[in-house]
Amino acid sequence: MKRITLIVSIVALLAMIAMLPMSAVQADGHCEFAEDSIKIGGLVPLSAPGAVAGGVAMSWAINRAADDINAACGVSIDGVNHAIEIVIGDSEGSPERGQAVVERFILEDEVHAVTGVYHSAVGLATMGMLDENGIPTVFSEPWNDNVSANGIMEYDGRPPRNADGVDHVFRVSPASSMVGGVVVDWLIDLGVGNVVIIAENTDYGQPAAADELARFEAAGATVTQINVELGTEDFVPILSRIQASADTPDVVRVLVTGETSYNLTQQMAELGIAPSENTICVTNQVAFQSEQYWQNVPDGNYCAFNRVGIIPSLFSDTAVELNAAYFEEFADIVPSYAMASYDAVWIIADGMARAGSSSDGAAIVAAIETTDLDLSQGRYYFEYGNHNPDLPEGTPAFMWHQWPDPVVTMMQYFEQGQSSLDAAVIFPEVYQTHGSGYIAPGTSP
Amino acid sequence: MVVFRRFESAIDQGIGRRKLGYLVIVLVVLFFLWFPNDTSQSNYTKTVFISGFFYAIMSSSWALLAGIAGQFSFGHMAFMGIGAYAAGLIARDGITFALLGVSISPESISAFGSIIIGTIAAGAVGLVIGWLLLRLRAAYLALFTIAFSELFRIMMLTEYDYTGGSNGLSLRPLLQIADVDAARQVEYYLMFGLLVVCLLALYWVANSPIGLFLRAMREDEDAASALGVNVVRYKILVFVFTSMIVGFAGAIFYSDVGSERIIPEQLEILQMSLIIAYAVIGGMESLIGAAAGAFISRYLLEAMRQVVITLPFGMTTYDGSDAFVWEPGFWRFALFGVVMVFTLRYMRNGLLYPIITWFSGRDIVMKETVSRRESDDNHAARIEADDE
């Protein structure tokens, strides 16, 4: 009996070993690929002084998209499947490095298209090179308005990219101007009149504060702006001034990023300034990282925050899958720039398939202009391009080759320790998840 | 070793080490002059070289300031930034002297004119800082220049209306050449020429009586002062001189020669520490050593982004390939750090010191420094022995 068991075990083991390569062949072999793959360059920051965490997430998403596309038999051109091959380049967040990497992409790696870019400075420095070399490009994170506006408007002495009839640069992240305004519109809807803005002294905080201040004042609100340095840990003196003020503010708006934002919000909550019965707490979008938020801001329940990117309750199947994979890798919720990077590779692949070419830049651009794809962040399309070149009066130039629908929403926690996946979306009304524009402290929606 | 000794004695009896050294320099220069004409080299490699030349200027000028004059400044990148930002702002907005009632429009300033003004601005700020600070000794200059660099960086970051904040500032392009290949060729020669000119200027200062005063001050300020050296004047002089060199190099490099825009992140302390590290690895007291250290380090850091490793003895990877690609990513900086630690511990005069010394036939590190280090070492050894 023992001998029979041994023989059966050995046969089973041999059979399993024999099956392994067979299954591997099948896994690889269900699609037949042409020898020449399609190379897509991913330009992301992977070293200081760039935003390394952002670059790592984008790099992961770009590679994930290529894996998914290849699993679906790659890009079919004239009936032949071509695998996508990703070449990642480290921009270090520096224009000089970004330009050098793009040059390497074009000359040495011979990429067919480019995506990525986290820092606007890198996008602004490389967009001209990419266009001049006829490389179809879909940027997935730079926000500066001019990244897309330079398609049809002069920028920094450079003629519009589309002056020769083809602009190779697209963007699926929002333009800065698209992000501003949502917070103010929401608060004005709520009827706030006395606003305190605490802004970090950087080119994120200051322009954002100036923009919101102008919008609030135009709506008749009174605004007090307080500037703080990034890295400040003790905000009590500043917050005491707010507390001592005769007029209790209706809202304290925090335009501070990272750890400093958490510190400030926690101290504000601890002092009972906001969130409170009379004062709304509006903190920075870093609050979306709920695990970090609750660790650092345990008293921050009922704080609202703005969020760029599709909201969890509206996640499509693609987004749910992407989020699950991202969570497995990084134990965090997938950020908007990773989703945009993932989608950008699909947009390029789709454009090439419809253009019937991986190397005809003009044909690929024309195909991308007529994109109509449902991906992780929603339906992608480009309203303005050579297929529809005339922007109506009043439409800003940055809408050129710009995905018009990046979702910017206001969200609010209403339970202690709540995941941001369950937080309420309170504005715009069309996205509201709990039927309420604001959840007052101590209540439930 | 025996073979090397024979080779050494053959050189000594023949051409002589010094002449051989000059010959090597000529060959290196000829190589750099020929390199862009090698059609097998892509523009990307030329871009890496251009960046290497720029950092060689930064490191060698810092070596004059810190290694030869003993003024340990962390403000080098800030002065480079002043040159570049001033050139960019003047070319864009012009300049107005309100007190004199004189206004110069941007149209009337050429790209090179703006670079010259940027250089003067770097020198002027260097003069003010130097006048205020160089009376101070030891760590105070280092501490102040760290603060000054950060202050300047934050100003460039926050005054976004003027400077573009983190989106950076475009400078007026110095060269307007439509053909990309031709443009890269000219940029390469321009930056290489600038490196050669800067090195010659730095050498001229280091080997002039001023250089002697600087070394005397570095070794013992009080003794130098007692012997009639106007210590503060020469400190300010070298500070302004190196500030103008880096201001000029920065304004040229960011005028679409090496990069089309400057951003505040380039002025971070991390970038400054890289300049120092290049100089330390190459040799702080040797201008050419610091320049070579910077160039080689930049090149290797770039080359190490992707390393193709060919397997020996007919070994193959799991997919049957005889080579694989290793991407060290940020680890290459860790490796760079290890090299720096090794240099500081075992080769304090830089990794290139033995080579340069061999060729020059004399100790390139000034005797007084060596004797001082030796006495420091002996002193430390005595203390250790006493402790035991």
**CATH number of the domain bearing residue A271:** 3.40.50.2300
Residues 6+ positions from B142 with CB-CB distance below 8 Å? B72, B73, B74
User: What's the whole-number mean pLDDT along residues A405-415?
Assistant: 91
Please answer yes or no on whether B160 and A156 come within 8 Å at the CB atom: no
The domain in which residue B227 lies consists of: 42-269
Shortest distance, CA B295 to any CA of chain A (angstroms): 16
Chain B residues with CB inside 8 Å of A49's CB?
265-266, 268, 270-271
Domain count, chain A: 2
Asked if residues A186 and A427 have their Cβ atoms less than 8 Å apart, the reply is yes
Is residue B85 assigned to a domain?
yes
Q: Is there a single domain that holds both residue B47 and residue B166?
A: yes
Among all residues of chain B, which has the CA nearest to that of A144?
B167
Is residue B291 assigned to a domain?
no
Q: Is there a single domain that holds both residue A293 and residue A188?
A: yes
Interface test with B, best of A118, A129, A203, A227 (most B CBs within 10 A): A203
Q: Is the peptide bond before A392 cis (omega within 30 degrees of 0)?
A: no
User: What's the whole-number mean pLDDT along residues A135-156?
Assistant: 90
**Element holding A228 (H helix, E strand):** strand A222-228
A55-59, long-range: CB within 8 Å, 24+ apart, which pairs? A55/A90, A55/A91, A55/A118, A57/A326, A57/A330, A57/A334, A57/A335, A57/A337, A57/A338, A57/A341, A58/A116, A58/A118, A58/A140, A58/A141, A58/A337, A58/A338, A58/A341, A59/A88, A59/A116
Asked if residues B184 and B47 have their Cβ atoms less than 8 Å apart, the reply is yes
Chain A residues with CB inside 8 Å of B166's CB?
119-121, 202-204
Q: What pLDDT does A2 receive?
A: 55
Domain count, chain B: 2
The angle subtended at Cα B322 by Cα B321 and Cα B326, nearest 5°, is: 85
Is residue A259 very low, low, confident or very high in pLDDT (cuts 50, 70, 90)? Answer: confident
* Closest CB from B44, B168, B258 relative to A108: B44
Q: What pLDDT does A21 receive?
A: 40
Q: Is there a single domain that holds both residue A111 and residue A135?
A: yes
Q: Is there a single domain that holds both residue B131 and residue B246?
A: yes
Among all residues of chain A, which has the CA nearest to that of B184?
A103
Q: Is there a single domain that holds both residue A121 and residue A180?
A: no
Is residue B373 assigned to a domain?
no
Is residue A439 assigned to a domain?
no
Q: Is there a single domain that holds both residue B37 and residue B61?
A: no
Is residue A12 very low, low, confident or very high in pLDDT (cuts 50, 70, 90)? Answer: low
Please answer yes or no on whether A49 and B265 come within 8 Å at the CB atom: yes
Q: Is there a single domain that holds both residue B141 and residue B22?
A: no
Is residue B89 assigned to a domain?
yes
Is residue A156 assigned to a domain?
yes
Please answer yes or no on whether A47 and B333 come within 8 Å at the CB atom: yes
Asked if residues A220 and A191 have their Cβ atoms less than 8 Å apart, the reply is no
Q: Is there a single domain that holds both residue A353 and residue A375?
A: yes
Beta bridge partners, A410, equal: A306, A427
Q: Is there a single domain that holds both residue A335 and residue A269?
A: no
**Element holding A43 (H helix, E strand):** strand A38-44
Q: Is there a single domain that holds both residue B46 and residue B174?
A: yes
Shortest distance, CA A231 to any CA of chain B (angstroms): 13
Shortest distance, CA B46 to any CA of chain A (angstroms): 10
Is residue A272 assigned to a domain?
yes
Least confident piece of the model among A7-21, A50-64, A398-412: A7-21
Last residue of a domain, one of B215, B244, B269: B269
Instruction: Identify residues of B whose CB sits under 8 angstroms from chain A CBs.
Output: 42-44, 47-48, 51, 154, 157-158, 160, 165-168, 170, 172, 180, 258-263, 265-266, 268, 270-271, 305, 329-330, 333
Least confident piece of the model among A129-138, A369-378, B224-233, B376-385: B376-385
Shortest distance, CA A124 to any CA of chain B (angstroms): 8
Q: Is there a single domain that holds both residue A292 and residue A419?
A: yes
Please answer yes or no on whether B44 and A144 come within 8 Å at the CB atom: no
Q: Is there a single domain that holds both residue B28 and residue B163?
A: no
Instruction: Identify residues of A whose CB sits under 8 angstroms from chain B CBs.
Output: 46-50, 52, 90, 93-96, 99-100, 103-104, 107-108, 119-121, 124-125, 128, 132, 144, 156-157, 201-204, 206-207
Q: Is there a single domain that holds both residue B160 and residue B60?
A: yes
Share of chain A above pLDDT 90, in %: 56
Q: Is there a single domain that holds both residue A302 and residue A350?
A: no
Q: What are phi and psi of B241, to 5 degrees?
A: -60, -50
Is residue B98 assigned to a domain?
yes
Q: Is there a single domain that holds both residue B91 and residue B16?
A: no
Around Cβ B143, how many Cβ atoms within 10 Å? 14
User: What's the whole-number mean pLDDT along residues A162-187?
Assistant: 89
Asked if residues A114 and A170 have their Cβ atoms less than 8 Å apart, the reply is no
Q: What pLDDT does A25 receive?
A: 36
Shortest distance, CA B347 to any CA of chain A (angstroms): 28
Please give the mean pLDDT across all residues of chain A. 88
Task: Specify the amino acid at residue A381.
Answer: Y
Q: Is there a single domain that holds both residue B24 and residue B85?
A: no
Q: Is there a single domain that holds both residue B20 and residue B85?
A: no
Shortest distance, CA A411 to any CA of chain B (angstroms): 28
The domain in which residue A39 lies consists of: 32-175+319-399
User: What's the whole-number mean pLDDT along residues A93-112?
Assistant: 89
Shortest distance, CA A227 to any CA of chain B (angstroms): 11
Is residue A15 assigned to a domain?
no
A161: closest CA among A395, A383, A401, A403?
Answer: A401
Among all residues of chain B, which has the CA nearest to that of A202?
B158
Q: How far is CA B38 from the centre of its chain?
A: 26
* Closest CB from B157, B260, B329 relative to A203: B157
**Alpha-carbon dihedral A346, A352, A358, A361, rounded to 10 degrees:** -110
Shortest distance, CA A100 to any CA of chain B (angstroms): 6
Q: Is there a single domain that holds both residue A218 and residue A275?
A: yes
Q: What pLDDT does A184 receive?
A: 92
Interface test with B, best of A59, A96, A147 (most B CBs within 10 A): A96
Whether the model pTM is above 0.80: no
Among all residues of chain A, which has the CA nearest to that of B47?
A100
Last residue of a domain, one of B250, B269, B288: B269
Q: Is there a single domain that holds both residue A50 and residue A163?
A: yes
Q: What pLDDT does A24 receive?
A: 37
Is residue A301 very low, low, confident or very high in pLDDT (cuts 50, 70, 90)? Answer: very high
Regions of chain B with pLDDT less than 70: 137-138, 329, 361-388
Interface test with A, best of B51, B58, B109, B261 (most A CBs within 10 A): B261
Chain A residues with CB inside 8 Å of B305's CB?
90
**Alpha-carbon dihedral B138, B143, B148, B154, rounded to 10 degrees:** 160
Last residue of a domain, one of B24, B41, B58: B41
Is residue A37 assigned to a domain?
yes
Q: Is the dihedral of CA A45, A51, A54, A60 positive or negative?
A: positive
Is residue A27 assigned to a domain?
no
Is residue A436 assigned to a domain?
no
Interface test with A, best of B174, B263, B330 (most A CBs within 10 A): B263
Least confident piece of the model among A9-13, A176-180, B264-268: A9-13
* Closest CB from B43, B158, B180 relative to A203: B158
CA distance A336 to A330: 14
CA distance B159 to B162: 6
Rg of chain B taking only CA atoms, in angstroms? 23
Query: How big is the A-B interface in CB pairs under 8 Å?
Result: 86
Q: What pLDDT does B167 receive?
A: 80
* Closest CB from A93, A100, A125 relative to B261: A125
Q: Is there a single domain that holds both residue B126 and residue B143?
A: yes
Q: Is there a single domain that holds both residue A164 and residue A196?
A: no
Q: Is there a single domain that holds both residue A248 and residue A280?
A: yes
Q: What pLDDT does A18 receive?
A: 47
Please answer yes or no on whether B265 and A46 come within 8 Å at the CB atom: no
Is residue A16 assigned to a domain?
no
Q: Is there a single domain that holds both residue A334 and residue A257?
A: no
Q: What are phi and psi of A143, to 5 degrees?
A: -100, -20
Around Cβ B195, how many Cβ atoms within 10 Å? 23
User: What's the whole-number mean pLDDT along residues A203-231?
Assistant: 85
Q: Is there a single domain that holds both residue B249 and residue B182?
A: yes
Around Cβ B266, how many Cβ atoms within 10 Å? 26
Is residue B226 assigned to a domain?
yes
Q: What pLDDT does B363 receive?
A: 61
Please answer yes or no on whether A203 and B165 come within 8 Å at the CB atom: yes
Q: What pLDDT does B349 receive?
A: 78
Strands (DSSP E) contained in A294-421 are 304-308, 373-375, 378-380, 408-412
CA distance A154 to A137: 19
